[in-house]
Amino acid sequence: MKSVPLSVPWLTCPKPNPRARLRLFCFPYAGGSSSAFRQWQDGLPLDVEICPVLPPGRGGRLREAPFTRVGPLVAECAQALMPFFDKPFAFFGHSMGAIVAFELARWLRRMGHSQPAILFVSGRRAPQVPDTISHTYNLPDADFIAELRRLNGTPKEVLEHPEIMALLLPLLRADFELIQTYNYAPEPALACPIAAFGGLGDEVGSGACLEAWREQTTGRFSLHMLPGDHFFLHTARPLLLETMARRLNESLESTV
């Protein structure tokens, strides 16, 4: 089996592992990049290859226009990743990334391709739960930055640096538009297991909204609430990876 080439635009692989038996594709949150998953390999099983996904508009793809709709992003991402679904794989997505990972799994099913061994969704209500939050992607700059400050996902020193914010605002607005204009279309539940994660102090993804992910699988479902706010994937990373490692080991055992 081939390892992921570092030159593939949609993927970064900090520690290529051609002997891995399963690939974990990680999808970033709004404004996030593949760098959010750079340290994950050390906390997960050796048989798992971490493959952070890098959509346009961030990291080494900063000059490319970011997507503003989920459907086109998923379709292009699917075509780019298809060569790397040649061995068992799993998806992890946080916030915006949870919806992208979910819709990619459904796209693969519609096209008759393999399903992920497990889908990890984090910090995002189930897709069928109505959105009660007003759109913020089109707010004036000052109000939009205030919303970023409230969400606590952008470092204070970045928010207070006008030159950096001038570079980041187009991507952040595009990502917010992408997820805030997402329209869920009902389809049969996925067959793959789903494990949902939430932060105990997260105002965006409450336990009830995360519990509703149960409706999206005919397989095993589990919900794990961790300490922290919306960005608990950073502050509670050891606990998150410990839980994920257990589930990934179960998936690896089932492929033997």
Q: How far is CA 48 from the centre of its chain?
A: 17
Q: Is 122 among the catalytic positions?
A: no
Catalytic residue, candidates 95, 114, 134, 206: 95
Vertex 31: Cα angle to 165 and 129 (nearest 5): 135
- In terms of Cα–Cα distance, which of 253, 248, 220, 193 is closest to 23? 248
Q: Closest by alpha carbon to 174, among 9, 10, 32?
A: 32
Question: 131: burial class by Cβ within 10 Å (0-12, 13-18, 19+)?
Answer: middle
How far apart are alpha carbons 224 and 44 in whole angstroms?
A: 17
> Catalytic residue numbers?
95
